[in-house]
Amino acid sequence: MMKKYARIKYEGKVYFALMSGEGKWQLLEGSDPCTFTETGIFPENPDIQLIPCTPTKIVGVGLNYKDMDLKPGESFPRRPKMYIKPLSAMIGDGEDIILSPMVHDPCSEVELAVVMGRYCSHVSQEDAEKYIWGYMLANDMTASDLQKEDGVWGRAKTFDTFCPVSQYIVSEVDVSDLEISTRINGKLGQHGSTKDMLKKIPWLISYISYVYALQPGDLLLTGTPTGYGDKVRAGDLLEMEIETIGKMHNRIKAADYSCEF
């Protein structure tokens, strides 16, 4: 049965919370699914505007959908490319994505995000799903011009606000074939399905766990469908959706500062 989690402010303290069958939020004690205990407290009109997970890192993989339009001379890698976004890149549903004046060619990339529920190191593909807490929607914002300039992804994907995420963690759902899409100012942009992932989630978790340990709350971005994302600019309204997982919207805003670089 599908479960939905959020983070809630209540009487000056922050709690994780679980939605009940009646659509009410019950506060939980604990910091992750392994330590959660139910409190029996169901606050009225709870404040659920917080980002629902507290990762130590955000791990992304690229070139992981078979429906991508590869550029001349490109081929799919034997293993997806990996990168890490800083925690300062995370913003919530409804918050503004701020474009640094260093960025001239931004694009948005709608992605299914996996939230880890347990410490995970050197795990097999067969056991990998045991370590999953649930799933979220994420936007892997990327500066395409800087990606080309640098030849690596360390700067292009790591600006502050470049990882909007949705409001809830959704667990105990089948994510093998979910529709995934973006609308820009109401017009359909990216549109695909999670069934087109080249490397499936258990493979990704196992592979990454042999590079570095994943902690409870860590996010894994699983790649974006149909190419390298949608070209966007300041003023655009992005509306993203993954079937069953949820929706989010963010507006792109130009930074209010200059840059000498």
Claim: this prediction has a pTM higher than 0.85: yes
Count structural domains, the chain: 2
The β-bridge relationship of strands 81-85 and 58-62 is antiparallel
Does one domain contain both 94 and 41? no
Closest to 228 (Cα-Cα) out of 111, 86, 78, 89? 111
Residues 125 and 19 grouped into a single domain: no
User: Could you report how far apart the first and last alpha carbons of the chain are, in Å?
Assistant: 51
User: What tokens appear for 102 in the block?
Assistant: 């260093």
Please state which of the ranges 27-31, 38-42, 68-72, 206-210 shows the lowest mean pLDDT.
Answer: 68-72
Give CA–CA dist 204/45, Å, rounded: 38
Cα 17 off chain centre by: 20
Q: Which amino acid is at 182?
A: T
Q: Determine what percent of the chain is predicted with pLDDT higher than 90.
A: 83
Nearby residues of 105 by Cβ (< 8 Å), 6 or more positions away: 143, 144, 145, 231
In a domain, 261, yes or no: no
Q: Does residue 150 register a pLDDT over 70?
A: yes
pLDDT tens digits for range 57-73 = 999 998 899 877 666 77
Are 122 and 19 in a shared domain? no
- Judgement on whether residues 24 and 147 belong to the same structural domain of the protein: no
Q: Write out the two tokens for 125.
A: 């593909």
Range of the domain at 118: 56-252
* Residue 223 identity: G
Q: Are residues 34 and 110 in the same domain?
A: no
| CATH code of residue 209 | 3.90.850.10
Measure the CA–CA gap between 139 and 164, rounded to whole angstroms. 5
Q: What is the predicted pLDDT for the residue at 71?
A: 67
Average model confidence (pLDDT) for the chain?
Answer: 94
